[in-house]
Amino acid sequence: MLQIKDLHANINGKEILKGINLTVRPGEVHAIMGPNGSGKSTLSSVLTGNPAYEVTQGSVEFYGKDLLALSPEDRSHEGLFLSFQYPVEIPGVSMVNFMRAAINELRKYRGEEPMSATEFLKLMREKRAIVELDNKLASRSVNEGFSGGEKKRNEIFQMAMLEPRLSILDETDSGLDIDALRIVAEGVNKLKNENNATIVITHYQRLLDYIAPDYVHVLYKGRIVKSGGPELALELEEKGYDWIKKELGEI
């Protein structure tokens, strides 16, 4: 579904991604790990079309379409989802209005009629249960006054609503206590099927105990320097990144 070839990207003229190659197929879970500043969040920003980043080289195909040519909203309509590391607070925009706008724009893109209010509320109720999101949160402004855990649960709730084909979870585990981590991970697992895929960006093995990856990649200095199976994550947990740096001849 996703094919990234030799992807280079800048922010403010500084090159962060220096040639990423990655292929993701339906049903797969990929974990991307790496030290701070290696370009993990940049990769998710570039894939979702954050205008702050400039792609200088390479290509990204998503179900045969040139992903980089699409607007952020059309990438979403095509089935790409990003769970933000830092979900944005939007005072004055209620979760209900926000989600209804998102759902109806998706339906419009697919040539479907807007969802009725009853249907929509029913869907909200159903999907809220997946991440045990309180009804009160759903009636508040988007992320405003949410705790760290609530914000992350809200991200997964939105993912459940939009049913993306490819989800990128950008450090969804950061700032979560054990219970919240379990709820979020279980939510992700419930949404998983053979037709969708997940890219999990994380620093720690901990999340991968809950969301089992098929592949683990190490991103370092803007490149994927090592790929392997789930055992690679365990090895990293044990040995740290110095081991990789040694392999690269840096230490």
Binding site for another protein (CB under 8 A): 48-51, 71-73, 75-77, 81-82, 84, 87-93, 97-98, 101-102, 105-106, 109, 141, 158, 162
Tokens 């290509």: give the residue.
59
- Residue 213 to residue 52: CA distance in whole angstroms: 30
Helices marked H in 163-250 — which ranges?
178-191, 205-210, 230-239, 242-247
In angstroms, give the least distance from the CB of 225 to another protein.
Answer: 28
In angstroms, give the least distance from the CB of 211 to another protein.
Answer: 21
| Nearer to another protein among residue 71 and residue 193 (C-beta) | 71
| Nearer to another protein among residue 77 and residue 153 (C-beta) | 77
| Nearer to another protein among residue 16 and residue 244 (C-beta) | 16
In angstroms, give the least distance from the CB of 81 to another protein.
Answer: 8
| Nearer to another protein among residue 106 and residue 133 (C-beta) | 106
In angstroms, give the least distance from the CB of 42 to another protein.
Answer: 14
- Residue 22 to residue 30: CA distance in whole angstroms: 10
Phi then psi for 184, rounded to 5 degrees? -65, -45
User: What are the beta bridge partners of residue 2?
Assistant: 24, 62
- The answer to whether residues 225 and 244 touch, using CB atoms and an 8 Å cutoff, is yes
- Residue 150 to residue 40: CA distance in whole angstroms: 23
| Nearer to another protein among residue 70 and residue 212 (C-beta) | 70
| Nearer to another protein among residue 93 and residue 212 (C-beta) | 93
In angstroms, give the least distance from the CB of 174 to another protein.
Answer: 17
In angstroms, give the least distance from the CB of 60 to another protein.
Answer: 15
Amino acid at 68: L
Q: Give the list of residues 6+ apart from residue 6 with CB closer than 8 angstroms, or none.
A: 19, 20, 21, 57, 58, 59
DSSP-derived 3-state class of residue 247: helix
